Structure 1
Amino acid sequence: MRLFLSLFTLFLVSLSSCTHKDEPTKLVLLSTADVHGHIYPWNYYADEADERHSLLKAATLIDSVRSQQPHTLVFDAGDWLQGNPFAEYFARTDTTQPFAFIGVTQAMNFDGIVVGNHEFNFGLPHLHYRISESDVPFMAANAVDYETGEPAYTPWLLQEKDGFSIGIIGLTTPGSAVWDRPRLEGRIRFEDGAKTAARYVTKLQEKGAEVIVIVMHAGFEGTTSYTSDELGEEHFGQTIAETVPGVHAIIASHTHRVIDDLTYFSEANPQGVAVTQPGRWASHLGYTELLLSRDSEGNAIVNFGLNRALPVEAAEPHPELYARYLSQHERVRAHVQAPIARTDSVWTSTRARLEDSPITDLVQYVQRKATGADLSGSAIFNTDATFADGVITRGNLARLYPFENTLFKLRISGAELREYLEFSARYFATYEGDGSEAPVSSGVTPGFNFDVVYGASYQIDVRQPAGDRIRNLEVNGRPVQDSDHFTIALNSYRAVGGGDFHMIANAEVVKKIDTSVRLLIEAYLLEKGHINPQDVARNYWELVY
Structure 2
Amino acid sequence: MKMKILATTDLHGNIFPTNYTSRDNIENYGLARIASAIHSLRENNDILLVDNGDSFQGTPLLTFAHQNADSYMNPTAAAFNALKYDFINLGNHDFNYGPDILKKFISENKAPLLTSNVDIEGRQLGNTQIIEKGGKKIALIGVLTHYIPNWERPAYIENMTFRDALSQLQTEVSRVKDSVDFVIALYHGGLERDPKSGEPTERLTGENQGYEMTKIDGLDILITGHQHRSFVEVVNGVLVTQNTFKGQEYITIDLDLETGEKSAQLHKVYDLPVDESLLQQYQIIQDNVQTWLDQPVGKLDAHSPSLVIEDELDARIHKHPIVSFFNQVQLDRSKADVSSVALFNGATGFNSEITMRELVSTYLYPNTLVVKKMTGKSIKEMVEFSANYFALDDEGNIVPSPEFISPKPQHYNYDMLDGIEYTINVSKPRGQRVEIITRNGIEINDEDTLNLVTNNYRAMGGGNYTMVADCPTVQEIQEEMVDTIMNYFLQNSPVIVNHSDNIKVIK
TM-score when normalising by structure 2: 0.91
Structure 2 residue 281 is matched with structure 1 residue 281? no
Structure 2 residue 319 is matched with structure 1 residue 348? no
Residue 22 of structure 1 is matched in structure 2 by: none
Residue 211 of structure 2 is matched in structure 1 by: 238
The answer to whether the 8 Å contact 2:370/2:477 transfers is: yes
- Find the residue that maps to 1:138 and give its secondary structure: coil
Change (3 A) 1:431 1:544: farther
Residue 155 of structure 1 is matched in structure 2 by: 127
Counterpart-to-counterpart distance in 2, 1:395 and 1:160: 47
Residue 280 of structure 2 is matched in structure 1 by: 323
Q: Shift in Å at residue 508 of structure 1?
A: 1.1
Structure 2 residue 384 is matched with structure 1 residue 404? no
Which of 70, 74, 81 aligns to 2:49? It is 74
Q: Shift in Å at residue 103 of structure 1?
A: 0.6
Change (3 A) 1:544 1:285: closer
Within 5 Å, give how 1:276-425 maps onto structure 2.
Answer: 276-293=241-258, 301-305=259-263, 307-343=264-300, 344=302, 346-349=306-309, 350=311, 351-382=314-345, 384-388=347-351, 390-425=352-387
The answer to whether the 8 Å contact 2:134/2:257 transfers is: no
Counterpart-to-counterpart distance in 2, 1:226 and 1:139: 28
Which of 144, 163, 174 aligns to 1:191? It is 163
- Structure 1 spans left out of the alignment, 5+ residues: 1-24, 267-271, 294-300
Change (3 A) 1:324 1:67: same
Counterpart-to-counterpart distance in 2, 1:542 and 1:430: 16
Counterpart-to-counterpart distance in 2, 1:452 and 1:226: 23
Which of 427, 448, 465 aligns to 2:389? It is 427
Change (3 A) 1:95 1:107: same
- Find the residue that maps to 2:329 and give its secondary structure: helix
Counterpart-to-counterpart distance in 2, 1:225 and 1:378: 23
Q: Shift in Å at residue 383 of structure 1?
A: 5.9
Counterpart-to-counterpart distance in 2, 1:456 and 1:225: 31
The answer to whether the 8 Å contact 1:431/1:462 transfers is: no
Residue 461 of structure 2 is matched in structure 1 by: 497
Query: AA paired with 1:255?
Result: Q
Within 5 Å, give how 1:96-245 maps onto structure 2.
Answer: 96-145=71-120, 148=122, 150-151=123-124, 153-183=125-155, 186-206=158-178, 208-221=179-192, 233-241=206-214, 243-245=215-217
Change (3 A) 1:368 1:93: farther
Residue 296 of structure 1 is matched in structure 2 by: none
Q: Shift in Å at residue 93 of structure 1?
A: 4.5
- Find the residue that maps to 1:512 and give its secondary structure: strand
Structure 2 residue 21 is matched with structure 1 residue 56? no
- Greater shift, 500-509 or 128-137, is seen at 128-137
CA deviations over 1:263-315 (Å, ceiling 9, x no partner): 33x2xxxxx3222222211111210000111xxxxxxx41124x112222222
- Find the residue that maps to 1:368 and give its secondary structure: helix
Counterpart-to-counterpart distance in 1, 2:458 and 2:146: 17
Residue 197 of structure 2 is matched in structure 1 by: none
Q: Shift in Å at residue 250 of structure 1?
A: 1.4
Residue 476 of structure 2 is matched in structure 1 by: 512
CA deviations over 1:428-476 (Å, ceiling 9, x no partner): 115887xxx6411222333211111110011112121111111231113
- Find the residue that maps to 2:371 and give its secondary structure: strand
- Greater shift, 449-458 or 396-405, is seen at 396-405
The answer to whether the 8 Å contact 2:370/2:475 transfers is: yes
Query: AA paired with 1:461?
Result: N
- Structure 2 spans left out of the alignment, 5+ residues: 194-199, 405-409
The answer to whether the 8 Å contact 1:175/1:226 transfers is: no
- Find the residue that maps to 2:270 and give its secondary structure: coil
Q: Mark the structure with the bigger radius of gyration.
A: 1
CA deviations over 1:176-200 (Å, ceiling 9, x no partner): 1211151355522222222211110
Counterpart-to-counterpart distance in 2, 1:95 and 1:79: 22
The answer to whether the 8 Å contact 2:192/2:201 transfers is: no
Counterpart-to-counterpart distance in 2, 1:428 and 1:192: 33
- Find the residue that maps to 1:89 and give its secondary structure: helix
Which of 423, 426, 438 aligns to 1:459? It is 423
The answer to whether the 8 Å contact 1:194/1:244 transfers is: no
Counterpart-to-counterpart distance in 2, 1:82 and 1:105: 15
Structure 2 residue 91 is matched with structure 1 residue 83? no
Counterpart-to-counterpart distance in 2, 1:238 and 1:311: 25
The answer to whether the 8 Å contact 2:420/2:440 transfers is: yes
Counterpart-to-counterpart distance in 2, 1:252 and 1:309: 13
Change (3 A) 1:375 1:93: farther
Query: AA paired with 2:31?
Result: L
The answer to whether the 8 Å contact 2:96/2:156 transfers is: no
Query: AA paired with 1:303?
Result: E
The answer to whether the 8 Å contact 2:52/2:91 transfers is: yes
Q: Shift in Å at residue 484 of structure 1?
A: 0.4
Q: Shift in Å at residue 157 of structure 1?
A: 0.8
The answer to whether the 8 Å contact 1:426/1:444 transfers is: no
Residue 224 of structure 2 is matched in structure 1 by: 252
Counterpart-to-counterpart distance in 2, 1:450 and 1:170: 32
TM-score when normalising by structure 1: 0.85
Q: Shift in Å at residue 94 of structure 1?
A: 4.8
Give the total of aligned pairs: 490
- Find the residue that maps to 2:12 and give its secondary structure: coil
Change (3 A) 1:386 1:442: same
The answer to whether the 8 Å contact 1:112/1:137 transfers is: yes
The answer to whether the 8 Å contact 2:114/2:129 transfers is: no
Q: Shift in Å at residue 398 of structure 1?
A: 2.2
- Greater shift, 410-419 or 44-53, is seen at 44-53
The answer to whether the 8 Å contact 1:410/1:509 transfers is: yes
